[in-house]
Chain A
Amino acid sequence: MRMLEENNFNSDLDDIINALDENIDRSELKKKLEEYLSYGVPLDQAKNTLIKQYGGTPIESQKKNLKDVQVNDRGLNLVCRVISINPKEIEVKGEKRKIFYGFLGDETATRTFTSWKDFEINKGDVIQITNAYSREWQKEPQINLSESTDITQLDPSTIESVVRSPATAKIIDLRGGMGNVEVTARLLSLEEKIVTARGKEKKIYSGLMGDTTGKIPFTSWKDFGLNENDVLTVTNGYIKSWRGAPQLVFDENSQVEKLDSDKLPPEKIGTPLISISVLIERGGGVDMMVEGTVLEVLKSSGFIYRCPDCNRVLRNGICGIHGEVLGVPDLRIKVILDDGTGSLTALFNRELTEQILGMTLDECKTTAEEAMNYAIIEHKIIECMAARPLQVTGDAFSDEFGLTFLVRNVHFVSLDIQKEANELLKELEE
């Protein structure tokens, strides 16, 4: 930002004079410029107004290509096509506000945008944007249009073709809200479903896809003749979130290309170990693997009774919905797992709890009844798990309270500490 008091506007006056044919008195020009500025007219607008007054051609001030927009740019001037625009209601300080989001494109790139004001722009419009700013979104710059942004409609032919630069992404890098993604993956499972969309029955195809970095559920709204074990490149798909976790969706606007199945053999489909921070950023995922230390065994772990009707956990023999019922005994564990980069709640079902305790449900019941204390099972769990490092695989979902990990496989991490220490020391010597 230029500060008014520190500026003689020398370079700005040069800009104006250079844009004009005739010679203009510099001090007169300066006086007029300062008058506009004192009324709060933005500098670029004031300059162009003066140039126009003297019969010159306005400067296209610092018009940027989308490709060159960085995060946290201010005073952005762009010419773009509106690729998509959607309204969205949000709550700011308790008040409902309507904002708009979508994609902008020019000859060099496409970018997401958020508009904090209704500029009455539509899909397909070509617009001149003056004084926008950018923020970071999904590691990319995002264009923000605010109250102080000006929008001018241009002739749609100003931009002939918008570059469709698909984001070629690995599955682990996919995040809810991404559009125009290109993914190459192996189709691991497939099922057909009939759904009713806008009053019409429609056949959809869903299942699981995988690449070397992970797996993702998908839904196809069009029959692409998919088969299990196909290796595909999906172009122009988009990513939705379901319970926080990303899902790949593709439809009539997408292309599906079948590749040679050797391109991605089954043994290369992986579940690599990722950090909890990455999983949190992703919002969850299917068949994920993380490692962490059990920082806390949560109350409500151990021996429980569930409602025979709704499966809810009973409190003092009472179900929140069905009242007093004859409970069904069960085991479960809830822990806080943390790897120093992030933290999640991991849930273990009865089978895994039995495995961790080395005791069956019946044995747990007998033990608890002999001790006349169900909490004894919780204490046993704490003994087994507290402060222990675990590696877990399973599915993760998130909401405003954080990430929940439904564990499918667990093992206790045991390392040869001295060997690992020596290796790390060697690394440090290098």
Chain B
Amino acid sequence: MMREQAWRLFAGEYNETTCKVEGEGEKDPSYVVTPLGAKVNRLYVAGVLTHVEDISHEGEMFRAHVSDPTGVFVLYVGQFQPEILDYLSHMDTPSYVALVGKSRTYEPEEGTIYVSVRPEILREVDASVRNYWILETCRHTKKRIEAVVEASNMTSPSVTELRSLGYDTALAEGVISSLSHYGKIDIDSYYVLIKEALNSLKTEDIQPHSQTQEIDNQILGLIAKNEGDEGVPWEKLVKKGLEEKFDKEVIETTLESLLDKGLIYEPQLGRLKTA
């Protein structure tokens, strides 16, 4: 049995996944197919560990969040990965991590699918590993977009045709499954996703800038003061910021940059909490 490759993809693409392909035989692997045709059994992510939570309250099951410039990967770690449980329980947040994991799905009801990741290996890394991952993932995402565009332009899209254009079998199969499951795919939104990710690499050198750093810290403090258990609603925080004489635009860009850096996260949509 060949080892499954570890796909490079952003949370922004992965979390949009609603297509599942079950293996036929007992030992056949299962996959999820993303809108851009990544047929994922295994994935490799380098991002910011923002949150670790013991959801079993007995140290048997952890939920963790790993943030990239486009969104958040949700990780579930169970007792069959004692090394990772142990590792996570000692990790500080935020910190840079790299992980290899398997795709997992959760279907609370018919037609609703949530994807998550079950890590096989996870370790702390430095920023250079994370930045290389972002660049590499942009390239891979771009290639998938191109494959989807090619396939959409075919009169009868097929694996053979895609392969003859030089796409490898796994991607060709994924793209064909994706087209039949998702129908029309909003290509532009994925171009935006790549650009956001690339721009986050550019802002990297602005970060040490002392003034930005100071604003970051002040806004962080503001969130910490108002977050409570549930996090502070976005609108409320903007109001608090305005009271502190911050410009509205400055507040919002700062919040976005804090989210990107994984220093804050959204426990619920529209609520902010420090990591």
Interface residues of A (CB under 8 A from B): 71, 136, 139, 275-278, 280-281, 293, 295-296, 336, 338-343, 386-389, 400-402, 413, 415, 417-418, 420-422, 424-425, 428
Tell which of B142, B171, B194, B201 has the most Cβ of chain A within 10 Å: B201
Chain B: number of interface residues, binned into ranges: 35 or more
Known: A277-B168, A424-B139, A428-B194. A387 touches B7 (CB 8 A): no
Q: Are B160 and A296 in contact (CB under 8 A)?
A: no
Known: A386-B123, A387-B125. A400 touches B198 (CB 8 A): no
Q: Are A340 and B44 in contact (CB under 8 A)?
A: yes
Bound complex: CA A386 to CA B44 (Å): 12
Known: A336-B3, A417-B132. A277 touches B170 (CB 8 A): yes
Q: Are B160 and A71 in contact (CB under 8 A)?
A: yes
Q: Are B2 and A295 in contact (CB under 8 A)?
A: no
Known: A136-B160, A295-B44, A418-B205. A343 touches B142 (CB 8 A): no
Bound complex: CA A418 to CA B123 (Å): 25
- Find chain B residues with CB under 8 A from A389 CB: 132, 136
Q: Are B198 and A424 in contact (CB under 8 A)?
A: yes
Known: A71-B160, A280-B2, A400-B1. A340 touches B198 (CB 8 A): no
Interface residues of B (CB under 8 A from A): 1-8, 44, 46, 98, 100, 121, 123, 125, 128-129, 131-132, 135-136, 138-140, 142, 158-160, 163-164, 168-171, 191, 194-195, 198-199, 201-202, 204-205
- Find chain B residues with CB under 8 A from A425 CB: 195, 198-199
Nearest-neighbour CB distance to chain A for B205, whole angstroms, equals 7
Tell which of A276, A339, A341, A401 has the most Cβ of chain B within 10 Å: A341
A339 to chain B: closest residue by CB = B5
Bound complex: CA A417 to CA B127 (Å): 11
Bound complex: CA A343 to CA B100 (Å): 12
Nearest-neighbour CB distance to chain B for A68, whole angstroms, equals 15
Nearest-neighbour CB distance to chain A for B102, whole angstroms, equals 13
Q: List 24 A-B contacts (CB under 8 A).
A: A278-B168, A293-B136, A295-B100, A295-B121, A336-B3, A338-B5, A339-B5, A341-B5, A343-B2, A389-B136, A400-B1, A401-B2, A413-B132, A415-B132, A418-B201, A418-B204, A421-B138, A421-B198, A421-B201, A424-B138, A424-B194, A428-B191, A428-B195, A428-B198
